Amino acid sequence: MSVDDSGNDPGADEQPKRRRAPKGEMRRAALLDAATVIFARDGYSSSSMRDIAALAGITTVGLLHHFPNKEALLTALLERRDQRVTSRFHELTLELTLEGFLKFLRQSMGFSIQDAAECQASLVMNTESLSPTHPAWAWYKERFHLTHEHARNHLTALIEAGEIRPDIDVKATAQEIFSMMDGLQIQWLRCPEEVDVMAVFGGYVRRLGRDMQAHP
């Protein structure tokens, strides 16, 4: 460590510098935001790189510098969604109790509707990808299996812990939960002023909890 003539450390009063995202990362994020809006509006199949570039305030050539084609843009968008979901759910504590499970469901629903454009883009592309020729077909099918398996495993653990009835059909219950979540998101996007997602889902979760509760 060096000191100046007065015996003081010349860097002692300096504040640590805050790391700033490189310009390229900020541009990439802005392009993904623009793609989210366009995919939500037009779907992946009908959207154009030109419209995405225009919304982001960049030329199509500039967009192609970051993403060489629309499929590469889609892949990056899906990867970002994965990262956001993983980051969010790592922050949550999934308790091995019935109330902890119900709380986790409410938090998951809330996360799904935080951003209307992102919610709509995901649902539109999910529907489009029912065609095996869609570039996101494998991605959405894999996520279907992963999320349902996670829910089934947790319900099974709750049965083993004596938190819910042993006769619960974990596969059917997981399908019911995700069907409710998907359906509510569609209704909310259709008429947001008429659909209070969290109120409706909260009522459903309370009924689900009462139905699954283990008998004394």
Contact partners, residue 70, CB within 8 Å, separation at least 6:
44, 47, 49
Contact partners, residue 154, CB within 8 Å, separation at least 6:
94, 101
Per-residue pLDDT tens digits of the chain, which is 216 residues long? 444 444 444 444 444 444 445 777 888 999 999 999 999 999 999 999 999 999 999 999 999 999 999 999 999 999 998 888 777 776 666 678 999 999 999 999 999 999 999 999 999 999 999 999 999 999 999 999 999 999 999 999 999 999 999 999 999 999 999 999 999 999 999 999 999 999 999 999 999 999 999 775
The reply to whether the predicted model has a pTM over 0.85 is: no
- Quick one: how far is CA 95 from the chain centroid? 21
* Domains defined for the chain, CATH in brackets: 21-77 (1.10.10.60), 92-216 (1.10.357.10)
